[in-house]
Structure 1
Amino acid sequence: MSEQSLLRLSIAVTAALAAFGIIVGLLSGSFAIVFDGFYSLADAFMTLLALLVSKLIATSAEPTAKGKLIDRFSLGFWHLEPMVLGLNGTLLMGAAIFAFISAVGSLMAGGRAIDFGPAIIFAVVTMVIAFAMWLFCRRANRELKSGFIALDSQAWAMSAALASALVIAFALGHFIQGTELEWLGPYIDPGVLAIICVVILPAPFSNVRQAVADILLVTPVDLKRHVDAVAEDIVERHGFLSYRAYVARVGRGKQIELFFIAPSDWPARHLSEWDAIRDEIGDAIGDEGPDRWLTIVFTSDPEWAD
């Protein structure tokens, strides 16, 4: 299954669960379920946005890509990916913070009575579907290696964990009815919601941090180290004086610029010879494909490289 097909499936399932959750949450009086539905709805919207960006990236990477939009963005659409991932993580963190504040307020006001029957049914259905989608997306992304699918898989994992917590909490609330612990019932829904918010809040943070690093073009250490090793080997074997390497990762795209400083008294060479060195460098760097932007320049003037 392709990245776009998997995202479409995820959007459809997420939207259906979100609508189901909001309806059941309102009928049962559970704000935890309403939050789960709202969280899923926000995730579905962001996944739809991710799908659009994915289509743009795939279209622009085609050799025959033409059109006004392609002409306007001749460097591609990689830069949109970290923007979407960062926005997604920020919205999910914001929703969790808001829900946590609401849960604490409800606990201080004496809790909230809910109908545990429909709540348990919803939690079980959501847990099973979310767990299945997490496994499916995770397995598919072993080949796709997509940042969007990885984030979506993480969202399904969080949904499965959230639903599992709801199943346990609502089952507990159902069984204590009619017992001396029944007074705890109104506190279960806001208490579980507060705990869930605390647990899921840090999850999108790593995605937001990576997205900000990509937007700011922070040089990835591992990629820079690899490019430096390749460039140093080329300098030593071909007799260049030095090199300059500029590396950035923008979403799934790797942008690499290499400048090799040659002695000014070198004899002239055929263009095919320079191209052969470029091919050698490209093969050594690896990851050739539509997501690698590699520029290699040979010059005898260091000012062109600085």
Structure 2
Amino acid sequence: MSSPRPATPLASGSFFDLGDERGVLRISIAVTLLISALGIGFGLISGSYSIVFDGVYSLMDASMSLLSLVVVNLIASHTVSKDLPRKLAERFSMGFWHLEPMVLGLNGTLLMGVAVYALVNAVASLLAGGRHLEFGWAIVYATLTVIACTAIAIVEARANRRIRSEFVRLDVRGWIMSAGITAALLVAFVAGYSVQGTEWQWISPYIDPAALALVCVLIIPLPVSTIRRALADIFLVTPTDLKAHVEKVAQDFVGKHGFLSYRAYVARVGRSRDIELYFIVPPDRPARRIEEWDSLRDEIGEAIGGEGPDRWLTVVFTGDPEWAE
């Protein structure tokens, strides 16, 4: 039997509400699109491939954030308000949690792929003798971007202390990455500007592709943990900590009520926790009223904890062990 799901309304507020997961993602998308436009524009003006890459990377990140926002809306609509079109609700009666790890995995894979492609181009540019660029425009862009990325990362991190969203946490990490990447570019551009008119001016054409290659080398491994976590959720790999907790609760419950044994099945899919518990009751146990069995279900649900719209708990009592296998 599934645990009851509170029918509280969706969080209301402004379109860019920092108290709501979707509001934070909307802010992130808006700022990302602005930075992307600046990056592509300044990159073309200054002739910097690294800045163009930064803009394209931001545009890709914004598209993934938009997809994340769609998934968050679907999850919230299904688990909280039930405000879904009838046909959609019928086709996805088990909810939309499974979309979350898919989006996170796709996000990490695409960002990694973009970085690998940019690294190949950077190496090719270095081998071809580098590329000249306008360092003044590049420095202006890098300064503005570092300030913007740092500010939005701080704002989102503070908001997520209460929201506790995996999407927002990943987004904060992305902003920190962007700030660090652009800060590295800023250092490179300042160095390139400072050597103009000196005996070291010959290195100027190599600064932009070298900075881009370094940035890509740093970026490529970062989404690995996100992809690994997403794949674990997609393949329903049992989380050891949750499994241990459920096993302990079930063992204590069996001993307290004199049942024969139990079977526990646990999975995590995105933000949801799927828990199925089967308790083997002695066949000669006297019959109980439905209210008594429901009371036992409430007891096990309280012992497991974490009741809410993202917990899917099924508790079954049977005298036949085959039903639990």
Q: Secondary structure at the match of 2:130?
A: coil
1:213 and 2:232 equivalent? yes
Structure 1 residue 55 corresponds to structure 2 residue 73: yes
| Structure 1 residues not aligned, in runs of 5+ | none
Correspondence 1:10 to 2:23: no
Match for residue 43 of structure 1 among 38, 47, 61: 61
Q: Secondary structure at the match of 2:223?
A: helix
User: Which residue number corresponds to residue 190 of structure 2?
Assistant: 171
1:65 shift after superposition: 3.8
**Residues in 1 aligned to 2:308 and 2:81: alpha-carbon distance in whole angstroms:** 11
Q: 1:112 aligns with which of 123, 127, 131?
A: 131
Could you tell me how far apart the structure 2 residues matched to 1:240 and 1:141 are? 42
Deviations 1:237-261 (A, max 9, x none): 1111110011000000100000000
State the Cα deviation string for residues 271-300 of structure 1 (Å, max 9, x = none): 111111111111111111000000000001
- The residue number in structure 2 matching 1:136 is 155
Report how many aligned residue pairs link the two structures.
306
2-side partners of 1:211 and 1:70: how far apart? 24
Letter in 1 for 2:184: A
**Following TM superposition, by how much is the alpha carbon of 1:139 offset from its aligned partner in structure 2, in angstroms?**
1.4
Unaligned regions of 5+ residues in structure 2, if any? 1-18
> Is 1:277 aligned to residue 265 of structure 2?
no
SS of the residue corresponding to residue 203 of structure 1 reads coil
How many percent identity over aligned positions?
59
TM-score w.r.t. length of structure 1: 0.98
Query: Within 2, Cα distance between the matches of 1:33 and 1:142?
Result: 32
Give runs of aligned pairs for residues 126-205 of structure 1, distance below 5 A.
126-205=145-224
The separation in 2 between residues aligned to 1:281 and 1:192, in whole angstroms, is 57
**Equivalents in 2 of 1:42, 1:70: separation in Å?**
30
Where does residue 20 of structure 1 map in the other structure? 38
What corresponds to 1:124 in structure 2?
143
1:261 aligns with 2:273: no
Per-residue CA deviation, residues 97-116 of structure 1 (Å, 9 max, x unaligned), is 00111111111111111100
Relative to the length of structure 2, the TM-score reads 0.93
Moved more, 207-216 or 65-74: 65-74
What CA distance in whole angstroms lies between the structure 1 residues aligned with 2:188 and 2:270?
A: 39
**Which whole-Å deviations, capped at 9, do the CAs of 1:105-158 have from their partners, x for residues lacking one?**
111111111100010000010001101111111111111111111111111011
Counterpart in the other structure of 2:50: 32
Displacement after TM superposition at 1:64 (Å): 4.4
Residue identity matched to 1:41: L
Instruction: Name the CA distance, whole Å, in 2 between partners of 1:223 and 1:148.
Output: 21
Distance 2:237 2:81 in 1: 28
What SS does structure 1 have at the residue aligned with 2:315?
strand
CA offsets, 1:64-92, max 9 Å, x none? 44522112101100000000000000000
Moved more, 139-148 or 189-198: 139-148
Offset at residue 6 of structure 1 (A)? 0.6
Report the more deviating stretch, 267-276 or 30-39. Answer: 267-276
Tell me how far 1:202 sits from its aligned partner.
1.1
* Cα distance in structure 2, aligned partners of 1:64 and 1:98: 42
* In structure 2, distance between residues paired with 1:236 and 1:254: 25
Q: 1:222 to 1:200 in 2, by over 3 A?
A: same
Alpha carbons of 1:227 and 1:11: their partners in 2 closer, same or farther (altered >3 Å)?
same
For 1:220 and 1:133, locate their aligned partners in 2 and report how far apart those are by CA, in whole Å. Answer: 32
Cα distance in 2 between the residues matched to 1:253 and 1:65: 19
Deviation digits for residues 144-186 of structure 1, max 9, x if unmatched?
1111111111110110001110111100100110011111111
User: Within 2, Cα distance between the matches of 1:143 and 1:294?
Assistant: 24
Partner of 1:83: 102
Cα RMSD for the two superposed structures:
0.9
Instruction: Out of 277-286 and 256-265, give the one that drifted further.
Output: 277-286
Match status 1:305 vs 2:316: no
Q: Kindly report structure 1 stretches of 4+ aligned residues shifted beyond 3 Å.
A: 63-66
**What amino acid maps onto 2:25 in structure 1?**
L
Counterpart pick for 2:243 among 224, 244, 268: 224
Q: 1:224 and 1:139 mapped to 2: Cα distance? A: 31
